[in-house]
Amino acid sequence: MTAGERAARPLLRGRTALVTGAARGLGRTCAVRFAEEGADLVLVDVCGDLAGVPYPLGSGSQLEQTAKLCREQGAAVVTVTADVRRPEDVEEAARQALDRFGGVDVLLNNAGIAAPSGKAVHEIAEDEWDLMVGIDLTGAWRTMKAVVPAMVEQRSGSVINVASTAGLVGYRHFAGYVAAKHGLIGLTKAAALDYAPFRVRVNALCPGSVRDDPLSEGRMLAEIARSLDVDVDEHEEIFVQSQPMNSLMEPRDIAGAALWLAGDDSRQVTGTTLTVDGGFSAR
């Protein structure tokens, strides 16, 4: 194979990726990027609002839009409605992936919430803490528990846990989110050691402040701003002020990093934390 042929070959051709939180935002952008590089997709989302989360979550129609965009790239796509807090939902998503495609090569644990937040530690209610940790940390563990055994059996796979710079530093009035994301990085490191003998890689991806791109229908940054009582009309400009490179991350920046972790160019990379934050956490 020539260098030109290698360059033209889709990086994920013949592989299947399961993406949680796929209805919109980073989940959608990463799924479409994987499809562009030849992957088939299992797209998972809760497809509805949850009690205690103070903003709308991804909808069924948004998940179908993600599926449409992936199919336009030539991908075979399965969509699954699942709440990552429910073991039976997650197990069903894994079952559908195995039944349709025979295996899963890439797991992108992207499902997550940013609120309820905006409170000091002692003000956080028990149910608020449980909700945050249950989705952002335990949900990722639960999905790994359902999907990774098939990767172990096939002796290959890449798990990408979408953490955050909140998994590296602290943020005032975001203790639940910070704790969950720190825990996710710890889970990543431990799982990497568990599965390294089976050539299954586990890495964490830590985005910085990502712009809410209308095409992906993301709204995470706006919800973080709301929790901090930042004017939503000015929140992008305010967040930029803390960025060493004087710009927000774009969803495609995160998708590019996820693609690298999913593909063969990172075949010796496991247990690491890949930070895409424009230098924010370097200070």
Q: Does the active-site annotation cover 177? A: yes
Q: Which two tokens stand for residue 262?
A: 């999913």
CA dist 71 and 53 (Å) reads 31
132 Cβ neighbours under 8 A, 6+ residues apart: 113, 116, 117, 176, 177, 179, 180
The catalytic position among 55, 171, 177, 195 is: 177
Cβ proximity of 23 and 204 under 8 Å? no
Measured at the CA of 224, the angle between CA 274 and CA 169, to 5 degrees, comes to: 40
Q: Which residues are catalytic?
A: 177
